[in-house]
Amino acid sequence: MKEKIRALVKERNAVLLSHNYQPPEIQEMADLCGDSLELSIRAADTDAEVIVFCGVHFMAETASILSPDKIVLLPNADAGCPMADMITPVALRARRKDLPGIPVVTYVNSSAAVKALSTICCTSANAVAVVNSLDDAELLMTPDRNLARNTARHTDKKIHLWDGCCPIHDRLTVADVEAAKAAHPGAVFMAHPECRPEVVEMADAALSTSGMIRFAAESDATEFIVGTEVGLLYPLAQKNPGKIFYPASEGMVCPDMKKITPQDILDCLENMSGQVKVPEDIRIPALAAVTRMIELSR
Ligand code: 13P
Ligand code: SF4
């Protein structure tokens, strides 16, 4: 299956991108695995004619926003993001009326239509830098209330919240972390900024998924408790032989990140199916918000 897929990737002049949470067999066959920011930058830079995005719908949309002349394929149309669905353009327009003149910082985990109404995007890797890059003293951050609260700890700006969250990260409690720390005393605890603030406060480091991979590699520690989706345990172990990684909670599984199968990838490359294309009237304003973020992060 892997050989067939790699042959088709070459034949179609495609690039296969995988988020760090994807199943091991998909990460193994990808041209690039990464966090949301790395994948956005790669989608903007690639010369390939086709981008196969192994992740969730908003990631494929971001690739389409950045590369309108390329064909973007999402191998399984059902792979969405519950957090991205917690904000709609209608609801954001209404909220903006209550906060006139205030910039909107939107997490990339959002639809293209919501990005189109935003001033600038951010990811978990650059949220603090994005917020601090704004001249304004006040801003609205959407849709993740946890990322917004965790970012607020690193800025003097007033951040208005949107009441959304990642159900998988929001489910990690202080009690879960206390239990993991008791079971693995001495282990370093890494938390994703989508976790609740009281959980992030317990962490030795709050990082994006690729940030965790780099942090673990650079650290002298040999044991780590991982406060993010369990898919990250695979690349952490692959890239850090000899180090041990424990999930902060076994329950941190994102079903959407597990929907794409190798068969789906083969089918979409054979039939050029699963195309994701953002219409121009949404793409142009969304591109402004995404480009502002990428320029800041390069
Ligand atoms: P990062 O890989 O950017 O940290 O994002 C985590 C996530 O939840 C993506 O869906
Ligand atoms: Fe969305 Fe959370 Fe799944 Fe990421 S892990 S795709 S934020 S539901």
Domain annotation for the chain: domains and CATH numbers: 2-80+257-277 (3.40.50.10800), 84-167+284-297 (3.40.50.10800), 172-251 (3.40.50.10800)
- Look at the alpha carbons of 250, 30, 244, 198 in this order and tell me if their dihedral is positive or negative: negative
Kindly list the distances between the CA atom of residue 218 and the CA atoms of 13, 32, 193, 211, 240, in Å, as whole numbers in the listed order: 35, 21, 20, 11, 10
> Mean pLDDT score of the chain, rounded to an integer?
96
The pLDDT score that the predictor gives to residue 43 is: 81
**Cα angle 265-268-273, degrees, rounded to a multiple of 5:** 155
Give the separation between CA 28 and CA 11, rounded to whole angstroms. Answer: 19
pLDDT tier at 45 (50, 70, 90 boundaries)? confident
Is residue 111 pLDDT above 80, yes or no? yes
pLDDT at 98 over 80: yes
Confidence category of residue 42, pLDDT binned at 50, 70, 90: confident
* % of the chain residues with pLDDT over 90: 94
pLDDT score recorded for residue 40: 79
Res 141 pLDDT > 90:
yes
Q: Quick check: bond before 103 cis, omega within 30?
A: no
At residue 176, the pLDDT reads: 98
Whether residue 114 has its Cβ less than 6 Å from ligand 2: no
pLDDT reported for residue 46: 87
Q: How far is the CA of 89 from the centre of ligand 1 (A)?
A: 22
Q: Which of 150, 149, 151, 146 has its CA nearest to residue 134?
A: 151
Shortest-distance ligand to the CA of residue 258: 2
Residue 120, beta-bridge partner list:
105
* Ligand with smallest separation from the Cα of 164: 2
- Whether 229 is in the pocket of ligand 2, judged by its Cβ within 6 Å, is yes
How much of the chain, in percent, has pLDDT values that exceed 70? 100
Which range is least confidently modeled, 36-50, 118-132, 142-156, 253-267?
36-50
8 Å CB contact between 212 and 232: yes
Q: Which among 147, 169, 254, 258 is the best mutation to test ligand 2's pocket, defined by most ligand atoms within 8 Å of the CB? A: 254
pLDDT tens for residues 192-243? Answer: 999 999 999 999 999 999 999 999 999 999 999 999 999 999 999 999 999 9
**pLDDT for residue 149:** 98
Q: Judge if the beta carbon of residue 172 lies within 6 A of ligand 2.
A: no
Mean predicted confidence (pLDDT) in 66-76: 95
- CB atoms < 10 A from the CB of 176, how many? 19
Residue 39 has pLDDT above 90, yes or no: no
Among residues 12, 18, 162, 147, the alpha carbon closest in space to that of 85 is found at 162
CA distances from 79 to 40, 118, 159, 218 (A): 18, 24, 30, 33
> How much helix, strand and coil, in percent to the nearest 5, is found in the chain?
45, 15, 35
- Answer yes or no: is the C-beta of 144 below 6 A from any ligand 2 atom: no
pLDDT confidence band for 38 (50 / 70 / 90)? confident
Supply 25's token pair.
């067999």
HEC assignment per residue over 2-36: HHHHHHHHHHCCEEEEEECCCCHHHHHHCCEEECH
Q: How far is 284 from 163, CA to CA, in rounded Å?
A: 27
Q: Is the pLDDT of residue 298 over 80?
A: no
Q: Who contacts 203 (Cβ-Cβ below 8 Å, separation ≥6)?
A: 189, 190, 191, 195, 227
Q: Please tell me the predicted confidence (pLDDT) of residue 41.
A: 86
